[in-house]
Every structure is written in structure tokens, then in C-alpha cells.
Structure 1
Amino acid sequence: MKIIVRSESANLWWGIYGFCEKTGWEDLNLFDENKKRIGGLCLNGKGYLRAGLDDLKNDPEETEFVEAIEKYLTDNKCHYWYYYDNKDDEDFYEVPYLAPKNHNGVKPRFMDIWHPDEGIGISTINSAIKVWAKEHLRIEDCDIEIQNEESFEDSLKSFKENEELFGGDSKVEVKFADELIEELSQHWKKPKDEVLKKLENSIK
């Protein structure tokens, strides 16, 4: 089975291409191979959740959430955080797939995946969705297709425009790290030398 993943924001690709730090969270919409929507979720990395932990500790209403984050930060597994509706909510919704029910016997409306990577790259999305599909759809293995991907050229252009808009330095020094070449080589299914050549040509 194939699961199609559609991301939401340009800064996901800015981080993937190395123009800035990888983003710490990203909303993802999931579809099956027939383009029927499965659902949506938010993918989080350790860096993002760690950064907000101190503020959360000051809020007594967030104790359960804080304890869950602290547990997550100690290992290298995917964790989940589930959001539930009340049965009498006007827009009540439950996910249509397998998910834990709360004390009212209600399945979640939405969920976060907390991935062990610090930031979100292509490999983060692939591994997170495969683990999620295994645990929530009972699919042992699936192909992941990431759609609405920004090209390197378009991503660099939008990053420069964003920097100019918010008063940053639009002179982006682009360096192609080995990790980037390896990740794009697998994603584009091209040899690493071809990937490097394509990236170098795109900034000339």
C-alpha cells in the first residue's frame, strides 16, 4: 500500500535543503493510493518539544503533558499525543482508524507524532508515517510518497523573499552537507553525484 503525504509549510523545505535549521513541527495530511483522505496529524521533533518544556512546567494544567514529553525525551522511539472531543460537541469527530479510546470510550479527533529526530527531514517523515501506519492501520510496510514538494530553486527563492520581508540577510550561503546529498539521493532515487550536480547548477 502507498500512503501519500502532503505537507503544509514552505519552511519544512527550507530546513530540508539546508537554508536554515530543520523545522521542529509540521502538519501533514495523509491520503491512500486512490487519493482518499486518511486523516491529518502533526509531526514533532525533539528540539521543538524540548524548547517549550520549561514554560510548560510553570503551568499546573500541563502536568500530564510535561510528564509525557519528559518520558519521550529519554528514548529513541516514536510517541503519540492524542486530542479528544466530548461526545456532546457540536462538531464531534473520531478518527476512522485504530486509536486508543479515552475514559469516555471516545477515539481521538487528532494526534501528534513525537519523533526521536531533533528536526524534521525527509527520512523523519518516512519513518514516522511507517511507524504510525503499522500501529494505527495495521500495515506492516508501506510506500511513502511526499507530494507538494518545493523544488530546490523555488524553495531558495521563497526563503530569500521571506528573509527580505522580515529584515533578514537575503544573501544565503548555500552549503551542501553530506546528509542532505544522501537524503535527496534516496528521495529522488538518483546517484549522489547527480544530486550534487543538480543542486550546484540550481544556484549558478
Structure 2
Amino acid sequence: MHGFHGVTVSQIVAESGTSKGGFYHHFQSKDELLYVIHDYFISYVLTKAKEADSSSKNPTEKLQKIIQSFVKVFHLYKPHISVFYQESIYLKPEYTEEIKKKRDSYKKLIFKCLEEGKESGEFRSEVPVDITGMTILGMVNWTYKWYQPGGEKTIEDIGNIFVDLILNSLLTEQAKQKKEYQSFFLKSDINQDQI
């Protein structure tokens, strides 16, 4: 592997079966290509988070939708994410700034949801929004390191596990009992009648 810094546009077009003209029709440079690779997946999660923010009835449902779409991105855009995390140090400052704006917008939506959950009394009041938000971002982002398509768990299974872990730690005991949230939690494989 050449890595982003070592690869030429000629090698990119040869490997992708296109032409230099085709490449430069879509991208001004390798730098723009690297930016677009990131923009695909950050735009997806940001759009999904905005949809969850505007369409959900309450913060718990909103957070469940945000986490599910966040986890799903590691399946939909696995090659993009791998390239970005390995090569992002080569991004030019103007592209880095654009990415930072979208990432900040995404982070703010998560923080807003956590604030709303605390204000509504559904999320535990003693859990700080900033640390909780950064924990969710860090925990889910690390998926890119270990997720393998075709593994034992589907991306939907993994999303359900994340939702269960996060909501079980965030929701008040009273909120956990709400009927409409029961589908957000994993079901035990043990038949309670056999205990």
C-alpha cells in the first residue's frame, strides 16, 4: 500500500478503471477526494441525527435512532471510514475545517438530546452531558477498528447492543419501565419460567 501521501492520481485512476479526465471532472485534487470520502459518512450520520431530532416524540426515542444510524455507518461506509482514519492527517486545513464543522454539529445534536433527556426526567440527572456525549461518540466510533461484515453479529445486532448499553446506563428506573421503550432493550435468552 502506498497510502494517501504516496499514491498518485495516475495510480488512483488505473486502480479504479477510470481516466484522469474523469477524475478531474469530479475532484480538483487528491485532497478533495480525501475530503469527499469523509463527507459521505459524516453527512449520512448528520442527516440521520437531524431526522431523529425533528421526528422523534421524546429524547429516548431520538437517542435510540441516533445510535442506530451511527452504528450503521460503519457497515455502509466501512472502506471510506478506514481510509479517512488512516489518512486524515494529510487533509488540507480548509477541508479539515469543513469536517470539524459537521462533526461539531453532530456532537451538538447528541448533547442537545442528552440535555432534553435530563430536562424531561427520563435521563439520570447525575450523569454529565459532556462526558456522556463524548463517551457515546468514543464508544461507537471505535467500531471501525473491530467491525467485520459477515461476522457473528449483524450491524443491526451491534446497534441494538449499543442502544441497550447506553440506555440502560442513562435512563432513570422509572423511564426504563415505560412500555414504549421495551423494544430498545435486549431480551434475555433465559426463559424466566426455568429459573
Q: What TM-score results when the alignment is normalised by the length of structure 2?
A: 0.29
The answer to which structure has the higher strand fraction is 1
Structure with the greater alpha carbon radius of gyration:
2
Structure with the bigger percentage of helix? 2
